[in-house]
Amino acid sequence: MIKKGLTNKPKSKREQIWRLALGGELTPNEIALKADTTVQNVWKETSILRSRGGLAIRKTTAQQSNKSEMIYLNPGEEQNSTGILGLSKIRHRTPTSVNSLIDVPELDSAGLKILYGEFKSGKMPIDILAEYGFHPEIVECEYQRFMQLSERDNGDLMKRIILTLTRKGYVDESGRNEKIKALIKLYRQRGYLLNNEILNLLELYVQEEVQDETDLMLIDTYRRLPNGFSRIRCRQCKGMLGDAILCDKLPIGKKLREEYDEKLLCEVCRHDLDNPD
């Protein structure tokens, strides 16, 4: 936001653009004309302003060229379903490409090379906007395309994670972790999860899978054990007992192996011993 105490007459080009943008009544082209600058510079300066405070920009869609739509920007809010630019309120905004909007300058091959080079280096769209002054709609659409082409589409990844959890019964089966069910329900309601919610979901999922695998290892004596773990063998048939799993790396595990390995009977051998023919 512009600091208090400034004189009524803007002293710099940036201050002129910021004052006009904060009014929320002018299009980028109108601001450029009034400030005697380029549209690209307007977008660059408003991107910087957005990163420091907040502003409102009026834009016009190709389908409704005689109507304008206010977009309220608030970079302090959590990222939401409207996209990577942190737009906190957008009505009926569903462009499928940059060409669905008017007054969006074309980006030549040199500009695309710069844009995708910055994407590959890991730079975020907001930083690219502030540095190069590209049109935000171009950066947004191309960033989404880049994520899809490089198989880094977080939205698609979340769909796969939720589908996997659903197939494993975390939604419908009783007795499953209620926190996982709640997060899946939240995802289906909102269409997305916040980063901390995704991390929480994955942590809960890993814990549940480890517990399920441990239970199976105790039941299924043929199930492969992690490195460093082993079972006690039956003294008669030499088969593996499923009641215990020892950690050979620990002193207690070595001691139990010395005391009980091949000295206990499995259930089958015990039954045969108790019920001779």
Q: According to the model, what pLDDT value does residue 11 have? A: 61
H runs (alpha helix) in the chain: 13-23, 28-35, 39-52, 109-120, 125-132, 136-149, 154-167, 178-190, 195-219, 251-260, 267-274
Residue spans of the chain under pLDDT 50? 1-7, 53-102
Tens digits of per-residue pLDDT, 217-250?
888 888 888 888 888 888 888 888 877 888 888 8
Measured in whole angstroms, how far is the alpha carbon of residue 136 from the centre of its chain? 21
Which pair of tokens denotes residue 277?
A: 């023919």
Q: Quick one: pLDDT at residue 17? A: 84
- In the prediction, which pLDDT does 14 show? 83
pTM score? 0.45
Predicted local distance difference test score (pLDDT) of residue 161: 92
Question: Which pLDDT score is estimated for 105?
Answer: 64
